Structure formats: C-alpha cells, structure tokens
Chains A and B, each alone.
Chain A
Amino acid sequence: MRSDPDLAASAARGHEADFAELVRRHQARVRGMARRLTGSVSDGDDIAQATFLKAWQKIGSYAGGTFSAWVCTICWREYLQARRKQKIEIEFDETAEIIPFERTQSDEVGDQMDLNRALEKLSEAQRVCVVLCVASGLSHREAAEATGWPLGTIKSHVTRGVAALRKHLESSHVA
C-alpha cells in the first residue's frame, strides 16, 4: 500500500485518483472531527468537504509528516472560518458554555449516542481539545500547532475533558 506522503506527492503533480485515495483514507477522521466540532451532520460534512477542497489546493505545501494532522489542521481552520461567517466568536475560556453551531433538532449527531451527548456537555475549550486529541488522534503537540494554543493548556484541557467525559458516560450508563 502506498504511503500518504507518496500519494500526496503524486496528487501535487495533478493526479486526482491519488488524491481521491487520500480522501478515502482520511474522510472518516475529518468528517468525525467536523461533525463533533459543529454538532451537526450537514454542517460537519460541509466543513469536511471544504477541508479536502482546500487540501487539494494546498497539497503542494504538504511537507511530509502526519497527513492526518495536516488535514485536521485545515479542518480546524475551516471550522473557525465557518464560525466567523456565523458571527459567533470562539472564546478561549474554560468556563465558557457550549456555543451552538445553529443546530437543528433533526440534524443533531449525538442524540442517540451517549458518547457525543457526553462530549456536548464539556466546556468549549475542553470539547475542542478532546475532539482534536482523543477523537481525531492528534498528538498534544499537533493540536497545539493546529490551534495555536499553548501545549500545557492543551494537555490540561484534554486531561480534564477526558475525566469529565468518563464521568458523563458513567452517569449515563447508571441512569
């Protein structure tokens, strides 16, 4: 099986089929990340699609390393851009309440899933850090680079977020 950097190099030379293979490999992670950040299937998939279109435009700038981290960084930026369009400011505040992303009742991802429901109970900053590091598999350093937040802050939000997530999951199982 060809490696991601190999496919990316080929895609940078204009081979669409190789880029399609990269999309196939990483779509689940990116769509999952975008859906969890937005809390919506359709908004999440729109952001994931915009992410891969941007990735195609910028594939020449991919300089090796983990392709999933590179594409997740693009996804994070697309998410921020989409939020700015909705004129919702993202505030880096531990105590911040979850800011809805124009969620509709019928379009909620996590209604039937304990995991996503528990995720939505976290504070904004914790949710972002858990989505990036726990759900999308980015390392703390990669998440810090993607968001521009300090590494120590990412670590502490992940630790607290994971603890809170487990607590919510346990309470939902007990109930």
Chain B
Amino acid sequence: MRDQETYSDLTDLFAAEDRKMDPAPFVDEVMTGIRRRSLFRRLLLGAVGIAGAGVAAMQLPGLLANWTGLDQIVTRTVTDARQDASLVTSADPIWLMVGGVVALSLLAITSWERA
C-alpha cells in the first residue's frame, strides 16, 4: 500500500485521462454485441429444438399406428417422407457425416454459450 501511495499522483493523471472517454457509445456497442449473441443462441436453440421435434414426429406414426390404428394415409405419407430422406442419405453417405458434424457442432455451441 505504501508503494502505491508513492505514485498516486500518476494514477490520478491516468484516471483523469480515462474520464475524458465518452462511455455511452462503448456501453451501447458492448450491450448490442451481447444481445446479438443472445438472439443467435435463441435462434439456434429454436432451430435445434424444431429439428429434434421433427425427428421425433417422424417416429410417432410408426409407434402410434400399432397402438391406435391411426389413419393409414397420414401414416403412409410420413413413412414415405422418412424413407425418402433415408434414400437421399444412403445414395450419398457423406451427408450422414456432414449431418453428424453439424449436429455435434450445434450441441457444442449450445452447451458452451451462455444465455
């Protein structure tokens, strides 16, 4: 503490210089950055959630058909769509890998990013 008292005049000089800076634009810029990140995270979480819900919905007809005898037309349409999707991936398996990498990246980002 005694050491710091020996240069308190210099500290005051630096502080006087710092006080000349206008805080408003800087604070706005920082808070805009924070809000932008937060919005991006929310959108990402929403997109991942919708994708997850879509995958879950695709599984539902098969599951429900056995239990409730759901309308066969609806069941067939969804099942066909699922088959079409799996055909695309089997025709070019690289898409499976790309999808896996994207899913893992999204998972990593959403787990690490703060709200």
Contacts and interface: CB of A to CB of B under 8 A. Distances in A.
Contact of B114 (A56, A139, A140): A56
Contacts of B15: 28, 137
A153 interface: no
Interface in A149-171: 155, 158-159, 162, 165-166
Majority secondary structure of chain B interface residues (helix, strand, loop or mixed): helix
B21 A24 contact: no
Given A139-B4, A155-B3, A20 B10 contact: no
Contacts, number: 78
Nearest to B31: A20
A14 B115 contact: yes
Contacts of A31: 18, 21, 26
Q: Which of A27, A31, A133 is the most central at the interface, judged by chain B CB atoms within 10 Å of its CB?
A: A27
A158 B10 CA distance: 12
Interface residues of B, number: 27
A63 interface: no
Q: Which of B11, B29, B31, B115 is the most central at the interface, judged by chain A CB atoms within 10 Å of its CB?
A: B31
Contacts of A20: 27, 30-31
B17 interface: yes
22 contacts: A14-B115, A16-B35, A20-B30, A23-B27, A27-B27, A28-B23, A31-B26, A32-B21, A48-B26, A49-B30, A56-B114, A116-B17, A134-B10, A137-B15, A140-B3, A155-B3, A158-B3, A159-B3, A162-B7, A162-B10, A165-B10, A166-B10
